[in-house]
Amino acid sequence: MGEAQSVSLMADVLTSDQRATLRAFCDTIVPPIDCADDPTGFWARRATDTGVDQYVEGYLATLAADRRADLTMVLDGLAMQDFASAPSDLSREQILTEMNQSSSQAALALEALRSLILLFYYGITDPLTGQNPNWTLLAYPGPLRPPPMTPKELSTIVPNEDLEAQADACVIGSGAGGAVIAAELARRGLSVVVLEAGGYHNEADFAQLELKAYQDLYWRGGPTLSADGNIMLLAGATLGGGTVVNFTNCVRTPDRVRREWANDYRLDGVDGPEFDAHLDAVLARIGATDECSDLNPAQERLVEGCTRLGWKHKRAVRNTDPATYSPDTAGYLSFGDQSGSKRSADKTWLVDALQHGAAILTRTHAQRVLVQNGRAAGVEALYADPTTGKSASITIHAPRVVIAAGALESPALLLRSNIGGPAVGNYLRLHPLPVVTAVHAGDMKNWWGAPHAMICDEFANPDDGYGFLIEGANYAPALAGAATPWTSGRAHKERMADASRGVVTISVLRDRGYGRVAIDPAGEAVITYAITDDLDRKNYCKALDAQLRLGSVTGATAMFAGGAADLPHWRAGDDLEAFSARLHRAPIGPTGLRPFSAHQMGSCRMGPDPWTSVAKPSGELHDTPGVWIGDASAFPTALGVNPMVTIMALARRTATAMAASVHTVDGDAHPVAVR
Instruction: Tell me the CATH number at 624.
Output: 3.50.50.60
Q: How confident is the model at residue 108 (pLDDT cuts 50, 70, 90)?
A: confident
3 state DSSP class of 347: helix
Distance in angstroms (rounded) separating the CA atoms of residues 337 and 345: 13
CA-only gyration radius of the chain, Å: 24
Shared domain for 84 and 29, answered yes or no, is yes
Q: pLDDT tier at 670 (50, 70, 90 boundaries)?
A: low
Whether 12 and 101 map to the same domain: the answer is yes
Label residue 304 exposed, middle or buried (CB < 10 Å: 0-12, 13-18, 19+): middle
- Residue 604 to residues 82, 271, 411, 621, Cα–Cα distance (Å): 50, 21, 6, 9
Angstrom distances, CA of residue 65 to CA of 18, 71, 277, 443: 16, 10, 51, 44
Asked if the structure places residue 323 within a domain, the reply is no
CB atoms within 10 A of CB 260: 17
With cut-offs at 50, 70 and 90, classify the pLDDT of residue 2. very low
Q: Taking the CB of residue 176, how many other CB atoms lie within 10 A of it?
A: 32
pLDDT at 7: 52
Q: Is 310 a domain residue?
A: no
| Residue 568 · residue 553 · CB < 8 Å | no
On whether the CB atoms of residues 344 and 392 are closer than 8 A, the answer is no
Q: Reply yes or no on whether the pLDDT at 93 is more than 70.
A: yes
Residue 62 has pLDDT above 80, yes or no: yes
- The residue-averaged pLDDT of 129-141 equals 96
Residue 300 lies in a domain: no
- Indicate if 524 and 662 belong to the same structural domain: no
- Please check whether residues 483 and 592 belong to one and the same domain: yes
Residue 624 lies in a domain: yes
pLDDT tens per residue, range 218-227: 999 999 999 9
Give yes or no: residues 466 and 566 share one domain.
yes
In whole angstroms, what is the distance from residue 643 CA to residue 75 CA?
41
- Specify if 603 maps to a domain: no
- Pick the last residue of a domain from 70, 96, 124: 124
Confidence label for 4 from pLDDT (cuts 50, 70 and 90): very low
Q: Look at residue 485 and tell me whether its pLDDT is greater than 50.
A: yes
Q: What is the pLDDT of residue 667?
A: 44
Residues 630, 591 share a domain? no
pLDDT of amino acid 9: 55
In contact, 204 and 149? CB cutoff 8 Å: yes
DSSP conformation letters of 234-282: --B-STTGGGGTS--B--PPPHHHHHHHHHHH--TTTTSHHHHHHHHHH
Give me the amino acid identity at 156.
T
Domain end among 69, 98, 124: 124
Same-domain pairing of 224 and 271: yes
Residues 215 and 349 reside in one and the same domain: yes
What's the rounded mean pLDDT across residues 29-41?
Answer: 96
Please compute the mean of the pLDDT values over residues 242-263 and round it to a whole number. 98
Same domain, 98 and 183: no
Is there a single domain that holds both residue 520 and residue 667? no
C-alpha distances in angstroms, 537 versus 530, 583, 586? Answer: 10, 12, 11
Q: Express each pLDDT in 501-526 by its tens digit.
A: 999 999 999 999 999 999 999 999 99
Distance between CA atoms of 234 and 77, rounded to whole angstroms? 31
- Please report whether residue 155 resides in a domain: no
Asked if 442 and 393 sit in the same domain, the reply is no
Q: How confident is the model at residue 127 (pLDDT cuts 50, 70, 90)?
A: confident
Tell me whether residue 575 is exposed, middle or buried, using C-beta atoms within 10 angstroms of its C-beta: 0 to 12, 13 to 18, 19 or more. exposed
Q: How far is CA 641 from CA 164, 438, 511, 638, in A?
A: 40, 23, 11, 9
Q: Mean pLDDT in the chain? A: 94
Task: Say what percent of the chain tops pLDDT 70.
Answer: 97
Give just the sign of the alpha carbon dihedral 453, 456, 462, 467.
negative
Q: How many domains does the chain have?
A: 3
Res. 674: pLDDT tops 80: no
Residue 96 belongs to domain spanning: 2-124
> Tell me, what's the pLDDT at 1?
43
Q: What is the pLDDT of residue 10?
A: 52
Whether 301 is covered by a domain: the verdict is no
Model confidence at 407: pLDDT above 60: yes
531 within a domain of the structure (yes/no): yes
C-beta separation of 674 from 163 below 8 A: yes
Q: pLDDT tens digits, residue range 182-239?
A: 999 999 999 999 999 999 999 999 999 999 999 999 999 999 999 999 999 999 999 9
- The Cα–Cα gap between 316 and 302 comes to 13
Whether residue 669 is predicted with pLDDT greater than 70 in this model: the reply is no
Check whether residue 64 and residue 110 sit in a common domain: yes
pLDDT above 90 covers a percentage of the chain that reads 90
Burial of 39 (0-12, 13-18, 19+ CB in 10 A): exposed
Would you say 615 and 265 are in contact if contact means Cβ atoms under 8 Å apart? Answer: no
